[in-house]
Structure 1
């Protein structure tokens, strides 16, 4: 997810007709809130559960005269509803005094034994693979999805603010949420209709998007990618549900009995099926859990309905409420299939009841299930682009035929509202500001050009001192088949101009055949990555390190020309061939020498390297999802693994190139969701250079002399502290997402997150390579005696945006100027 887009979308964001609306608070006789009390309209299956503060709100399209409030251990309360709208209700629960021997009090932790709700839960586990589409060899169904964003908690004070002067007409059609009771204003709507095919034998699934429509942001893939990443599919039968990049324990999970309290509340006929009603709530605070209830059939033990509300104390940022409803359709006596999935999220900077925010609402409707239609394996491998013009330009007839749920009045009004807003200069200014902050580029429409990135404008390093950079790129639209980009930079100390220019051309959309090339003359910090990169315009750490640890003077002048051809014959498998020619020399010769023995030189030494290199590259990213069909696409998930294999051949003689050598490099990165214990990131890198090369072409174990936490580097190593021609490194970083801190009372409310890391490197350096670079003033040391390692413990989510890591060096402590301990940090917006 774009880390800049979300907070600014939230900042910028500042008539379903219901017959019965109720809201208020449930208290005990001592004026203490009663959390997780059951609130239902009498003689119905429509209900909700009070939150941690005892508050509730719900509404119905039907008219009801009585509200029933219950909680085991208290007397049931029936409240007569004198009006259709009943807000600010105060319900007092009295402790039960009769039949106490038959009452099971569920206000605290519940026993897992002799609990009928847990017995039913175990039967759900036993049957879950026999329910839904899992019980068929193949399946197909239609899927309609609409995602809407609304500005909520609208009041007169907000309407009168200067930011809305000239935009007052947007407040004409306000509505009230049936979940929270807050007023809201729709500001964005996206609709998608698709067909989903799956094969349980092949373990394959493919969604083919047939239509996509959104209000006012057709070309803004940053917003669309944000929406796609935000609302990914989940299955409540899974043990853990990924929502907003967090792993929540499902109430139907096999580990649910350790996470939730369960109680059997009721039983009734729903769609002529006898079902049990089970209420659940978390055993502990601050964990990623839900509260709610579900209805389950008494014979198939398949879910009929489930309501899930994220607990207020859950360790998740920028989200005040998450509410989920799922309904399952009874196809026949033994088949229950997902029919409708509704999710409401209340995004806000604060979790206070009256704080303003943005609603994100997703409604997904499923229909026309077909089973056991066999499709060849190749069918699932063909790529489908939901943003193809044929898909984006469907007419009104298509949508009238394929909307599985009609738009209500306020949803229909979103399209007209955004069309009107786009003509208002003030709104366009706000929208452009959000775009700049999110993308880093200032769009110049009349030139079809973007200026930026604004985040690269200023930098600092020892060679250049203060550095200023201005860049630009062509931009005709999100799906440009070609793009040119360049920059100019100037250093105050060295008084030199630097530049970079690159171009990419998409020659074939189907195979994604791309030709690219460019040239760059600049200053670079080599040795911050083991795996080679030929990115002509990559922003080097050399231009951004304002504050560093120790002397950061090992900088290199680079003059790089590159050309490459890339193709994607199979989805997520990229194959590339390229060539580069680079000239390397020290940017600070008095402090950092790249000299090597050169018998052809008059002095026997050379301080400049000229090198022609050919390379072949294979990158495989299974599970990666992208949008767009132009030369540049956007990723919409981060759960995929990456396998990289690179072969490089140095060629001596041509263009006065200096060395012959062969280099092979391999890396594998994988994120792992460890159930409810957070996420582990892992990377392993291997490489070897065959042939004799000087320091400038060797593999440097990546150090980090900045104060920023950078995954893939070694926080306690200086640049060029270890130099190798053969290496193996491992990086492990696990974020517990507050799982441990949530069990410590005085830390619980801070919602901090614990992070641990372990990093190791082994490498070797041949005697001939040591001899070749002997004139340099850089110690040529490889960690071949024993594996170098370091470990770290960190605390994240400090004030929701900061992270601090404490890094400890495990060995090689006798190395001159070795750093046994260091502190690094980072900041960013994340859930």
Structure 2
């Protein structure tokens, strides 16, 4: 009885929150769905578009008497409205002859003599002369709100044991005005920024965060940064819009007529400006496109309003719907400024309309625009922010700086999560979420266990390997952090360990001191560009399944002191010194002997190095101001890395005096409709003779898993160099080819091709000091391999077919292999 009363009260509350709700289907006289029909409250600009199945939902807090439904080739139909209008079946009749002439090939619209295309061309001509582009300098306030909600809430979900003890959460249920689904808010994040920009050379833009506030999960920096990266800023006038690492074709793109149909449907005054309404929808299926409509001024050809939905058959994993809405303010006769940007995404495991999922919503509001005020250059320069106060602003600050009030449900999120913090079941769910997001389990205040995903491993020397690690974690912005681990191999019966401590001394330039030590077994030579990070560990050493011999492992005892500084945002400078000893973990299986300067055979290296490194990742977004920060969009922008290492012979009995120079450059390319290409370039040289474990080993891969940075068909130590040049190129077509093949297109597989190559040499001096049983072979003629792959199998699996292109006649050469990969990709 109590549940029935709850439902009655709930649905009564829905009726009070909005005056009109309309849902239903649009069909033609043959009862076939009419996709992309324009549905609007008559006399307004409030409307929506039917989906591929003719289905729609529309809600308003205003009062309108009629609903207007139209589509090119059909007569416009007016539907009288009541307060509740559910599951309407609207039948459109074919239009008159003059409309019938426009319709060709199942909804495709002719581009020739299409007035909508003529308007679109004027938008292209004016797009760089609208809004902020009209001013040399500008500044404004920005308020951003990100919210996540469980959707498709029903009685079955409410009765599940997972909510036992948390029944109070259902007091916050609401209905989406976009989809009509019942949802439960579970998370909200708010941010306030001040933005300064200039359009004169050099163009720059700097956003300074003034405040940030989370409802729950405030200490889970990995989760917050993940949520942030889901939504990136975009300009609707650009040719392509980046969402979830995919480039969608913008409806305002110059290539738009090739992928969209456009229909001029209406004209009306909006804020005393005469505007045209243009409907757009895809010309083909399975492409990254939208459907929707926009209003555009008849004089400046600037967008006044736009709303659009991603098509359901777009090849994006875990995303069922994407809805975008933007509004622009008329500042004067010629300036239209973006004032509201709203994005809603429905994340779900499948496309079933009844499946439960999570709404992700971002609302961005812009206000207080000021133009052409001269500011010092520091205002436009991106800076590292270390202001702890911005995470602890008062309620009064938020009431003053929110550009729109929180709804009753949004306020309830804060209150609800404060209550849930003391509920045991919620604490359990929260713990699971934190482990999945960060890889660490917070088992006690200030102490985390992990990374949990590297607890078990296997190799030929240690056999089964168990590892237990942890870190200090009192808050996301700890200025000091300590990490460490213990590991044990059941075959060699030896205990290994590693520990590192770092402290942030100066937040603005991020002066950080790191000290650490490690005693362990390591697979050397699994990357060309090397570093002396204390807690780094090769996946080859801990992989459970490998092919061939996996015994070429080394005992390493390493201690390191390092200072890093970030004088410019995303430019990291590091200087450090390292003491290490290296020897074979089993000389009978892996001989690394060398001749010393006296001609005597040695098997152990004792070495002191001084190193300097520079890493630059432009446009990278980092969150937090402690010793460790989370990075949200790593992999979307280029990375440059340069290092110089000097071996110091004689210092603490160090054996070798040498120099090593290395450069690494990784560049992703978003190619719009043609997918994404990623390239990695490396070059390096080692001066003066050194033994095997200090040379540059071309990285092989003896696991059954593909790796973008390794050579999948090489064994460990198959090629040895002291100078090298390497290039890896891989292109993911994102399903563009498969989308043209019937039956296959429904699987949403993605085609992948790639090629890898390396060329290098080894000096006679390095050959002469080799006393091991390993033959030094360098790829003096280019070694290369190529692969074809199918990705997105079951949305998680990738299968690659690998072929060796050269050095095929070497003994025991692997000429072909099938490798797999797993990953969570949109």
Question: Could you say whether these structures have the same fold, taking a TM-score greater than 0.5 normalized by the shorter chain as the test?
Answer: yes
Mapping for residues 523-538 of structure 1, pairs under 5 Å: 523-538=521-536
Which residue is 1:138 aligned to?
137
Q: Would you say 1:86 and 2:81 are equivalent positions?
A: no
Could you say which residue in structure 2 is the equivalent of 1:692? 689
The 5 Å alignment of 1:193-592 reads 193-201=192-200, 202-385=202-385, 388-446=387-445, 448-592=446-590
3-state DSSP class of the match of 2:743? helix
Q: Deviations over 1:379-413 (max 9, x none)?
A: 3335253x732111111221221111111111111
Distance 1:355 1:593 in 2: 58
Distance 2:802 2:687 in 1: 34
2: distance between equivalents of 1:106 and 1:90? 25
Q: Report what 1:815 is aligned to.
A: 810
Say how many residue pairs are matched: 810
- Deviations, residues 450-503 of structure 1 (Å, cap 9, x unaligned): 112211111000111111111121111111111111111111111111111111
Asked if the contact 1:554/1:719 (under 8 Å) is kept, the reply is yes
Kindly state the Cα deviation for residue 76 of structure 1 after the two structures are TM-superposed. 2.2
| 1:771 corresponds to 2:768 | yes
Q: Is the 8 A contact 2:204 2:381 kept in 1?
A: no
Q: Work out the CA distance in 1 between the residues paired with 2:100 and 2:539.
A: 70
Aligned to 2:603: 607
Indicate conservation of the 8 Å contact 1:125/1:252, yes or no: yes
How far is 1:737 from its partner? 1.4
Structure 2 partner of 1:9 = none
- Contact 1:627/1:633 (CA < 8 Å) preserved in 2? yes
Residues 653-712 of structure 1, C-alpha deviations (whole Å, 9 max, x = no match): 222211111111111111111222222111111111110111111101111111112111
Whether the 8 Å CA contact 1:555–1:587 is kept in 2: the answer is yes
Deviations 1:144-177 (A, max 9, x none): 1111111111111111111111111111232111
Q: C-alpha distance in 2, partners of 1:206/1:259?
A: 35
Aligned residue in 2 for 1:799:
794
Q: Is the 8 A contact 1:296 1:305 kept in 2?
A: yes
* Secondary structure at 2:108 match in 1: coil
Mapping of 1:33-44 within 5 angstroms? 33-44=33-44
Taking the aligned partners of 1:741 and 1:375, their CA distance within structure 2 comes to 52
Give the distance between the partners of 2:44 and 2:650, measured in 1 at CA: 85
Q: How does 1:53-132 map to 2 (within 5 A)?
A: 53-81=53-81, 83-99=82-98, 103-104=102-103, 107-132=106-131
Between 723-732 and 110-119, the greater mean CA deviation after superposition: 110-119
Report what 2:9 is aligned to.
none
CA distance 1:58–1:232, shift in 2 (3 Å): same
Say if 1:599 and 1:605, in contact at 8 Å, map to a contact too: no
Partners of 2:575 and 2:241 in 1: how far apart? 40
2:754 maps to which of 745, 757, 782? 757
Check the 8 A contact 1:347/1:359 in 2, yes or no.
yes
Instruction: Indicate the RMSD between aligned Cα atoms, in angstroms.
Output: 1.5
Contact 2:102 2:110 in 1 (8 A): no
SS in 2 for 1:745: coil
For residues 781-813 of structure 1, the C-alpha deviation after alignment (integer angstroms, 9 at most, x for no partner) is 1111x2111111111111011111111111111
In 2, the alpha carbon distance for the partners of 1:724 and 1:38 equals 65
Instruction: Please identify, of 816-825 and 260-269, the stretch whose mean Cα deviation from structure 2 is larger.
Output: 816-825
Q: Quote the offset at 1:141 in angstroms.
A: 0.9
Once residues 630 and 399 of structure 1 are traced to their aligned partners in structure 2, the CA distance between those partners, rounded to angstroms, is: 24
CA distance in 2, matches of 1:575, 1:347: 39
Deviates more, 1:216-225 or 1:507-516: 216-225
Partner-residue secondary structure (3-state), 2:133: helix
In the alignment, the residues of structure 2 paired with residue 699 and residue 394 of structure 1 have an alpha-carbon distance, to the nearest angstrom, of 52
CA drift of 1:541 comes to 2.2
Is this contact kept in 2: 1:381–1:570, CA < 8 A? Answer: no
1:103, distance to aligned residue in structure 2 (A): 4.5
Query: Which residue of the partner structure matches residue 824 of structure 1?
Result: 819
Q: 1:153 to 1:487 in 2, by over 3 A?
A: same
Kindly provide the CA deviation profile for residues 297-341 of structure 1, in whole angstroms up to 9, marking residues without a partner as x.
Answer: 111110011111000001011111111110111111111110111
CA distance, structure 1, for counterparts of residue 184 and residue 545 of structure 2: 45
Contact kept, 8 Å, 1:106 with 1:263, in 2: the verdict is no
Aligned counterparts of 1:442 and 1:103: Cα–Cα separation in 2: 62
**CA deviation profile, 1:605-636 (whole Å, cap 9, x unmatched):** 11111111111111122111101111101101
TM-score, normalisation: structure 2: 0.96
Partners of 1:116 and 1:641 in 2: how far apart? 42
CA contact (8 A) 2:207 2:382 kept: no
1:618 aligns with 2:619: no
Q: What does residue 654 of structure 2 align with?
A: 657
Gap runs ≥5 in structure 2? 1-13
SS at match of 1:332: coil
Deviation at 1:374, TM superposition (A): 2.6
Query: In structure 1, what is the Cα distance between the partners aligned to 2:666 and 2:96?
Result: 61
1:296 and 1:304 in contact (8 A); partners too: yes
Checking the alignment, whether the CA contact within 8 Å between 2:141 and 2:195 is kept in structure 1 is: yes
Shift of 1:598: 2.6
Aligned to 1:643: 640
- Structure 2 CA distance, aligned partners of 1:649 and 1:121? 60
Cα deviation 1:249-285 (Å, max 9, x = unaligned): 1100111111111111111111111111111111111
Larger relative contact order (Cα-Cα within 8 Å, sequence gap ≥ 6): 1
**TM-score relative to the length of structure 1:** 0.95
- In structure 2, which of residues 618, 621, 628 is the aligned counterpart of residue 632 of structure 1? 628
